[in-house]
């Protein structure tokens, strides 16, 4: 109790360094979706990997769940200014997905597509960080529908709009191509520590 002030300041310093500029910590887990939550039947669930229109690989739910699993604890940052520390996720790392597909990446840019027609662009380099994954579990529970279940992209080091919920396709594209929010003014990359909230003219 006597050291409360000192250790409090210590924690705050650590938190300040982990918290990107303009962000505030939340303890809950807000839900942000552009439209209604799609109903996704696991019997029809499929994740496709494409290069433009060409199919490179695809997994049904059973095949996808047989891929190597990774569990990790990361901080997440939403462009609407909330951040959440120490969120626990489990799923398939993008590196493991690509090696399961047995392909060399054909381009440096991708679009993530979803069951609700949302999309977002991501650079291959931002997916090959050892942290970006197709997540199926949050807090050791199957991902709830409102948070993107059955499976969502998780790109924890970028603003959370890059973490596409209800993921059904990862598409390599030759040229960086804006997704849903990027077309509406958000930054093409979205690094929270650089405060890349909005795109340039």
Ligand X SMILES: Nc1nc2c(c(=O)[nH]1)N[C@H]1C(S)=C(S)[C@@H](COP(=O)(O)O)O[C@H]1N2
Question: From the centroid of its chain, how far is CA 30?
Answer: 15
Tell me the per-residue interface mask from 2 to 41 with ligand X, x by CB under 6 A, - otherwise. ----------------------------xxxxx-------
* CA–CA distance, 156 with 73 (Å, rounded to integer): 10
Q: Which is nearer to ligand X, 14 or 117 (CB)?
A: 117
Closest separation between CB of residue 34 and Mo ion, Å?
Answer: 9
Q: Which is nearer to ligand X, 38 or 106 (CB)?
A: 38
| DSSP-H helix ranges across 59-190 | 61-65, 94-101, 124-127, 180-183
Closest separation between CB of residue 33 and ligand X, Å?
Answer: 4
Count how many residues are written for the chain: 201
- The CA-atom distances, in angstroms, between 141 and each of 52, 63, 72, 137 are 34, 19, 13, 5
Tell me the per-residue interface mask from 10 to 39 with Mo ion, x by CB under 5 A, - otherwise. ----------------------x-------
Which residues contribute to the site for ligand X (CB under 6 A)?
A: 30-34, 78, 114, 116, 118, 147-148, 160-161, 163-166
């Amino acid at each position: 109790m006597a050291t409360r002030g000192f250790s409090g300041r210590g924690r705050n310093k650590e938190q300040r360094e982990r918290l990107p500029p303009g962000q505030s910590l939340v303890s809950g887990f807000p839900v942000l979706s552009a439209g209604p939550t799609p109903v996704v039947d696991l019997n029809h669930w499929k994740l496709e990997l494409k290069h433009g229109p060409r199919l490179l690989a695809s997994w049904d739910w059973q095949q996808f769940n047989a891929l190597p699993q990774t569990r990790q604890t990361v901080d997440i940052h939403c462009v609407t200014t909330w951040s959440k520390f120490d969120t626990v996720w489990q799923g398939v790392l993008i590196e493991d997905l690509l090696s399961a597909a047995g392909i060399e990446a054909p381009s440096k840019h991708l679009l993530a597509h979803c069951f609700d027609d949302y999309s977002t662009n991501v650079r291959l380099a931002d997916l090959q960080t050892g942290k970006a994954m197709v997540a199926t579990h949050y807090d050791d529970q199957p991902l709830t529908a409102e948070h993107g279940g059955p499976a969502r992209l998780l790109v924890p080091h970028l603003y959370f709009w890059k973490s596409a919920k209800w993921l059904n396709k990862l598409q390599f594209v030759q040229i960086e191509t804006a997704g849903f929010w990027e077309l509406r003014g958000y930054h093409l990359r979205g690094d929270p520590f650089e405060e890349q909230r909005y795109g340039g003219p």
